[in-house]
């Protein structure tokens, strides 16, 4: 079950955290995987300052595993390579996707994972520049990638698009106006893609993660982490593989009649817990 043998997957924002876990899980299920990010180990001198403090922290702290993940996937016997790609640059996306199609034969699975999540402040303190950045990366970035992959998937008459939403979108996030707005908007985009893709055997679904123990989560305030964990039904954070396994299922033939859903993988944080 859940075999992705013969499929080619592309994961955006795959340098660490959920993206890295998604790429490895897709490979374990049999897919060849291309990992894209603005952060690449061998090219970290290229400017990421405009993407905000979190990208800079990850770069300076060597928390970047894009090429390492591709090496691990090749060790499984799958085809894999890492590419620098900015999801806000449609021309660059088209160039990357064309190369993937040429070298690997197609793109069957797109995981829109690239996102920013370091813009925190109550509404009167939300920065206009960061609001626009979050729209460009979190929402328009996923639109750009879906638009670029669409002709490839239509030609194949098969595709899976996974958009990474968040409980901050479905529940709201205190001090996270831009992040919450973009993540909720992704669900609307997902459902439109599901409607338009069905006639071409393209399924589109959103994952709604809750509190997941990624590198970025570990940078949050410890007291805030405890409060968020306490809201889950399990009283513990999820692991990146919890998200990755759900994605593998939604990309498999076993999920061929599931489209347009926003699947909570959240440990019950949206339940009435006390």
Query: Active-site residue numbers?
Result: 179
CA distance 243 to 208: 9
CA distance 103 to 208: 32
Burial per residue of 108-147, b for 16 or more beta-carbon CB atoms within 10 angstroms, e otherwise: bbbbbbbbbbbbbeeeeebeeebbebbbbbbbbbbbbbbe
CA distance 163 to 193: 10
> Of 131, 164, 117, whose CA–CA distance to 19 is shortest?
164
CA distance 150 to 132: 25
Angle between helices 177-197 and 141-156 (to 10 degrees): 20
């Amino acid at each position: 079950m859940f075999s992705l043998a013969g499929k080619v997957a592309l994961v955006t924002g795959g340098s660490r955290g959920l993206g890295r876990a998604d790429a490895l899980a897709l490979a374990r299920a049999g897919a060849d995987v291309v990992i894209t990010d603005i952060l690449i180990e061998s090219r970290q001198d290229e400017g990421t300052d405009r993407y905000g403090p979190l990208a800079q922290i990850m770069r300076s702290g060597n928390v970047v595993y894009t090429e390492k993940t591709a090496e691990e996937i090749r060790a499984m016997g799958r085809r894999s390579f890492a590419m620098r790609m900015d999801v806000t640059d449609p021309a660059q996306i088209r160039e990357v996707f064309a190369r993937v199609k040429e070298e690997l034969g197609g793109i069957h699975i797109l995981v829109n994972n690239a996102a920013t999540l370091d813009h925190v402040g109550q509404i009167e303190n939300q920065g206009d520049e960061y609001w626009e950045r979050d729209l460009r990366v979190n929402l328009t970035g996923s639109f750009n990638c879906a638009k670029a992959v669409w002709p490839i998937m239509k030609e194949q008459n098969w595709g899976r698009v996974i958009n990474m939403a968040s409980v901050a979108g479905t529940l709201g996030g205190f001090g996270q106006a831009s992040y919450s707005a973009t993540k909720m908007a992704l669900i609307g985009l997902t459902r439109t893609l599901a409607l338009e893709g069905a006639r071409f055997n393209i399924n589109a679904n959103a994952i709604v993660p809750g509190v997941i123990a990624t590198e970025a989560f570990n940078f949050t305030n410890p007291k805030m982490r405890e409060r968020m964990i306490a809201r889950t039904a399990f009283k513990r954070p999820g692991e990146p593989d919890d998200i990755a396994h759900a994605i593998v299922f939604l990309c498999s033939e076993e999920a061929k009649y599931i489209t347009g859903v926003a699947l909570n993988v959240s440990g019950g944080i949206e339940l009435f817990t006390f």
